[in-house]
Structure 1
Amino acid sequence: MANASSKKQATANVEALALLHKVSLALNTLYVLSYFFLSRPATIKPFLFLSLPAWIIETMLERMGRPKYAANGSLVNPGENLAQAGLTEAMWDVVYVTFIIDVLAIVVGRNVVWWLYAVIPVYAGYKAFGLASPLLGKGAPAPAAAAETEPQNRRERRRTRQSVKT
């Protein structure tokens, strides 16, 4: 079967995007309904402002992951792999954190929950520090330093034993 992997990726992308849109629609509708009918939380401004990144990312995922078909129905482009690691994974994480905060804001009924959105830049800083620490000379000791502290082969161990005896 020609282009089997492309067809499989296109199918996986369509399923992931459909689930993303359904969950997003359900949670956003539930939040707005709870605001209007239950008056929880007190204001909708944080929801509108802090859900904006998730909505933009949802649009970006839609554009890059949606497969493109020719007029005759054949697959032209399966779209980017939405399950790949890296930036796409980070985009999904932002969407998931936003969904979790939406649910918590509905349950708790206060906008204080939106402070949990600070988890995203804190985690990004943690990852950036992990990438930058070897470049800055911080972190684990260099292998050369470890080699000085402990003999690596039999000849070096014998030499250190003989120097200790004399």
Structure 2
Amino acid sequence: MVKAQKTQASRNSATLNRTHLISLGVYVFFLLVRAVLFRRRLLPFMLLTLPALAIEFWFERIGRPVFAEGTQGKELKRAGEDLEAKGLTEWMWDVVYWTWACTALVALAGDWAWWFYSVVPLYSAYLAYTTFSGVRQGFGGLSAGAGGDGSGSGGGQSKRQAKMEKRGGQRVQYK
């Protein structure tokens, strides 16, 4: 196997193991504080930690390396997806981290702190809006090349052509 795949497999295994241990620690901390010190409601805990648990199980499914018995012992069959990828994977990590923070805050401060979890849908809406507006701006200049009015200056000229004519340099003749 390629060295890069082996590196990714070991990195994914370490990341997943660390994630599961931290998650277990945060949730056990919440339950211990609830059982020993303060009464915290369990229904919001179960409902609001469900997305993070689903994401963790998804990461486990796509990121855990798969080994198979081969002629030389265990051989890497599949390294797993990159758990450090940008985009959706990065957003899912943010949800997991924010869930841990909110769970610890609720354990220490009280059930009112679950309101901090409302940041997740607000952040998601912000990301969706900025992504949509960026794509829309990217496609905005395409109408000029298709005969639309676009954002070019002066009768279908490119910006470079308009500058050249403004300086009195090379004139472009259109037929």
TM-score by shorter chain over 0.5:
yes
TM-fit CA distance, 1:153? 1.8
| RMSD between aligned residues | 2.5
Corresponding residue to 2:166 among 156, 161, 164: 156
1:129-166: per-residue Cα shift (whole Å, max 9, x none)? 122235667xxx96954746x9952431459xxxxxxx
**Structure 1 residue aligned with 2:63:** 65
TM-score scaled by length of structure 2: 0.77
Task: Measure the CA separation in 2 of the matches of 1:21 and 1:132.
Answer: 33
TM-fit CA distance, 1:49? 1.1
**Structure 2 residue aligned with 1:100:** 101
Task: For 1:1-166, list aligned pairs within 5 A.
Answer: 2-41=1-40, 43-71=41-69, 72-108=73-109, 110-133=110-133, 145=151, 147=153, 153-157=163-167
CA distance 1:7–1:35, change in 2 (3 Å): same
> Structure 1 counterpart of 2:45, which letter?
F
TM-fit CA distance, 1:107? 1.9
TM-fit CA distance, 1:85? 1.1
Task: Measure the CA separation in 1 of the matches of 2:78 and 2:108.
Answer: 42
Task: Measure the CA separation in 2 of the matches of 1:136 and 1:11.
Answer: 39
Q: Percent identity?
A: 34
Aligned residues: 153
Task: Measure the CA separation in 2 of the matches of 1:14 and 1:107.
Answer: 31
Task: Measure the CA separation in 1 of the matches of 2:29 and 2:134.
Answer: 46
Gaps in structure 1 of 5+ consecutive residues: 160-166
Gaps in structure 2 of 5+ consecutive residues: 145-149, 170-175
CA contact (8 A) 1:40 1:106 kept: no
1:85-138: per-residue Cα shift (whole Å, max 9, x none)? 122111111100100101111221x1111111111111111121122235667x
Task: Measure the CA separation in 1 of the matches of 2:134 and 2:77.
Answer: 43
> Structure 1 counterpart of 2:80, which letter?
G
Task: Measure the CA separation in 2 of the matches of 1:11 and 1:57.
Answer: 20
As a proportion of its length, which structure holds more helix? 1
1:5-52: per-residue Cα shift (whole Å, max 9, x none)? 0000000000000110110010000000000101243x1221111101
Larger relative CO (CA 8 A, sep 6+): 1 or 2? 1
